[in-house]
Structure 1
């Protein structure tokens, strides 16, 4: 069975974007610092080694498609990406031969489709505080993987603001520090029934 990992980069004060966001700077001023850790190829390769499929939000897709191209966020590995959206984009704007499936009937449907093609490998929910909060609130996440950048944004898109899930116990699985970020990976501890 696939495990579902919510994976996101954020500032030390919990923002996944800085304010103000603009078309030129979708992550806000200095927001690209959140992804400086991607230069650590060894960590990145380890992180995606067992990846079977990705679930992303529409805003993440729209902002990232110029860099991702047809192959998606995992580059040449060409893993399927299920984009949760209210409306699929015009086909002319989607890269030919791309790995993208647009899911208009909710995050649970996107996760079901991703798990079906992941064939027991990891399904990663990435990009988008709103999508991550939806998955966490619905109890659909097995692990949380955070990449904490050494910055305080003060304002922007807060990752966990408004998340009404009560007390959720987490078990630390990994903590790796680098000059660019601290990688934290937690297992969501399910209550014993």
Structure 2
């Protein structure tokens, strides 16, 4: 049975997955790239990177994925809906290589890119978006790509089967938090924590069999 998965979502010690304010010049606000430095050092990101524990976790991001769901703020900075030429942050060949569903209150026609990525723009609930993504995934898993608000909404709806968070030892103080409104969510998951020599902690949440969506 296909799974709904979250991978490589980096959060600060105080639970923020991005800083503020987000802009075209600062996609993660005042956090900059500090939440993702652990990943930039791996072979998953750069062929000259490390092949240790961080890389092993990061590589799981891509295996068995048939479609992705992301929020409007992952696709572009505030106001991208007003730019008909905006095609995302990633150039003509985005890294998703699968149907990718962008949740937005202002849908636009689908956008076919190089490398197998087609962006579909939906104004839909988490359950509706997941149904569309599962159909497009052809029996493979669906990745919830973020940002934090989308991940939070899917967890709250009971739709996430596997979630990999990476706790980075920085304090942001402000931004968008993953855990707001999710009191007790840990009760639905078996949780494993693995500390890496890089200083980050990999947290894996696997939905308990009695709590499957």
Aligned to 1:2: 2
Measured in 2, the distance between the counterparts of 1:125 and 1:192 equals 18
Q: Does 2:202 align with 1:183?
A: yes
Aligned to 2:52: none
Aligned partner of 2:67 among 40, 53, 60: 53
CA RMSD after TM alignment: 2.9
Q: Does 2:191 align with 1:172?
A: yes
Aligned to 2:76: 62
Q: CA deviation at 1:16?
A: 1.0
1:123-148 per-position Cα deviation (integer Å, ceiling 9, x unaligned): 11121222112111111111111022
Q: 1:174·1:186 contact (CA, 8 Å) conserved in 2?
A: no
SS of the residue corresponding to residue 61 of structure 2 reads helix
TM-score (norm: length of structure 2): 0.74
Measured in 2, the distance between the counterparts of 1:121 and 1:134 equals 22
Q: What is the number of residues matched between the two proteins?
A: 188
Question: Measured at CA, do residues 50 and 192 of structure 1 come closer, stay the same or move farther in structure 2, by a change above 3 Å?
Answer: closer
Q: CA deviation at 1:89?
A: 4.3
Aligned to 1:72: 94
1:68-114 per-position Cα deviation (integer Å, ceiling 9, x unaligned): 2344343xxx12211111112477xx565542111123222221121
Bigger fraction of residues in helix:
1
Measured in 1, the distance between the counterparts of 2:209 and 2:184 equals 13
Measured in 2, the distance between the counterparts of 1:71 and 1:128 equals 21
Aligned to 1:109: 128
Aligned to 1:36: 37
Which range is displaced more, 110-119 or 162-171? 162-171
Q: 1:71·1:99 contact (CA, 8 Å) conserved in 2?
A: no
Measured in 1, the distance between the counterparts of 2:120 and 2:109 equals 13
